[in-house]
Structure 1
Amino acid sequence: MLNQFSRTQLLLGKEAMDRLKGARVAVFGIGGVGGYVCEALVRSGVGAIDLIDDDKVCLTNLNRQIIATRKTIGKYKTDVMEERIQDINPDVSVVTHRCFFLPENADEFPFEEYDYIVDAVDTVTAKIALVMKAQEKNVPIISSMGAGNKLDASAFKVADIYKTSMCPLAKVMRRELKKRGVKKLKVVYSEEKPTRPIEDMSISCRSNCICPPGAEHKCTQRRDIPGSLAFVPSVAGLIIAGEVVQDIAFDRV
């Protein structure tokens, strides 16, 4: 019978579509990368998604985040993404966690119920904790490396963390994961050398903060505020979603 996933089924087959429908994927970080991950997962037929983020949509998100519009500024990203998911496929089961993932709240998430984890968070501390938790619970995970300060969307690659190069974030992750005895981690990273942002205080979040009222996580608290483009983090997110969908659909994990 014809349905919204008929074109997808032509490529993947019914058995794969059944696997996707029965899968629960947790996406940690619903920003420039994570938003596009969610978008593609839902449009590919994934049946259950957990959304984890504590940010609100900000004016500066409009340049790259799929959930950011003038109407959604000031709303929680998890709420906006949930509404968008339901508009695409109301049969999807959505669980929202309005918080940031941290080592201290790691036990609050039902990791044993996840079929796949997407790490699209910003901080090394959270990334490491998420990888360690996934390893502990034996849940497949894929991590996004740096997508900021990049211009070339074609430079993204899928690789094991220990086979990456150029990406400063991947370098730190390699070192920290090696210390903890982690043998492998699938990542999406860019081989492009990061561009140094132009120093212009007239458009800097440092001196002109416009985070929505009540925002817990302000840009001014970050050590570095990266530049970003519409066509770079989106591509990273779509590549990640492609890996997740194929891993689940073809039972590659």
Structure 2
Amino acid sequence: MEHIFERTERLIGTEALNILKNSKVCVVGVGGVGSHCIEALARSGVGRLAIVDSDVVAPSNINRQIIALHSTVGKNKVDVMKERIFDINPNAQVEALCRFITKEDPLDFLQGCDYVVDAIDNVTAKIHIIEYCKQNNINIISSMGTGNKLRPDLFYIDDIKKTSICPLAKVVRRELKSRNIENVKVLCSKETPKVDPLSGSEKRTPASISFVPPVAGYMLAGEVIRDLCGL
């Protein structure tokens, strides 16, 4: 009888599929990038997922987030995503945490993870998560800025020290350097942002479009899967 991961197994092999089934991946941030990353991880057979986000689905999310529909507006993002994961793979183990990450957060939910995907925009929380993972020898990949962009083909994955152009990556590089944190894998873009995220002294929400953040999410998921399976 055909099983839901049969075609994946034919591509990567039984051993790799079993690795994914027994791996735990945490995705912090269930937004335009994170929601699609989680979707790809679930559809690839990752058996244990932890998902973290404090927000509810808003109408402004509908243009790019896989969990955002008129029927889900107002619901906790992690609850909607958890339900979706179970609809994909009823045998998955899912830990859904409606939690806002601060620099004081003990990040206890990251213990036991085989891989962490940082898909949040808050720099303080992002640095805190990266630092924790490096100190505890937990594999991590961090997403840099995906807003204000129209060219998903310009995304790439590399060490943070090799990034340029991206304003968020510049800040993260500086903060990591000040903490002597090295060898951090990130997803970044070579595209110059189309809209300045700062207007005078007032911060603006980055602009976005349907076909850019999802590509970043799928690239992150692909990197995680290849790393876990040694592909």
TM-score by length of 1: 0.87
1:171 is displaced (CA, Å) by 0.8
1:120 matched residue in structure 2: 119
CA contact (8 A) 2:197 2:204 kept: no
- Matched residue type, 1:176: E
Note if 1:67 corresponds to 2:67.
yes
1:249 is displaced (CA, Å) by 1.4
Q: Distance in 1 between matches of 2:152 and 2:164?
A: 16
Which among 236, 239, 245 is matched to residue 216 of structure 2? Answer: 236
CA contact (8 A) 2:32 2:66 kept: yes
Alignment partner of 1:51: what SS? Answer: strand
CA contact (8 A) 1:50 1:94 kept: yes
Q: Distance in 2 between matches of 1:140 and 1:54?
A: 23
Q: Once the two structures are superposed, what CA deviation does each residue of 1:139-180 show, in whole Å capped at 9, x if it has no partner? A: 000000000000111110011000111111111111110110
Q: Distance in 2 between matches of 1:108 and 1:139?
A: 12
User: Which runs of structure 2 are paired with 1:108-187 in the superposition (5 Å)?
Assistant: 108-187=107-186
RMSD value, Cα: 1.6
1:197 is displaced (CA, Å) by 6.2
Which among 161, 182, 205 is matched to residue 225 of structure 1? Answer: 205
TM-score by length of 2: 0.95
Change (3 A) 1:135 1:196: same
Q: Distance in 1 between matches of 2:74 and 2:166?
A: 32
Q: Once the two structures are superposed, what CA deviation does each residue of 1:184-237 show, in whole Å capped at 9, x if it has no partner? A: 1111111000011699xxxxxxxxxxxxxxxxxxxxxx8221100010000000
CA contact (8 A) 1:111 1:137 kept: no
Structure 2 unmatched ranges of 5 or more: none
2:27 matched residue in structure 1: 27
The count of aligned residue pairs is: 228
Alignment partner of 2:111: what SS? Answer: helix
Q: Where has structure 1 moved over 3 Å in runs of 4 or more?
A: none
Alignment partner of 2:133: what SS? Answer: helix
1:11 is displaced (CA, Å) by 1.3
- Matched residue type, 1:230: S
Structure 1 unmatched ranges of 5 or more: 200-221
- Matched residue type, 1:41: L
1:92 is displaced (CA, Å) by 0.5
1:213 matched residue in structure 2: none
CA contact (8 A) 1:166 1:192 kept: yes
- Matched residue type, 1:68: A
- Percent identity, aligned pairs only? 48
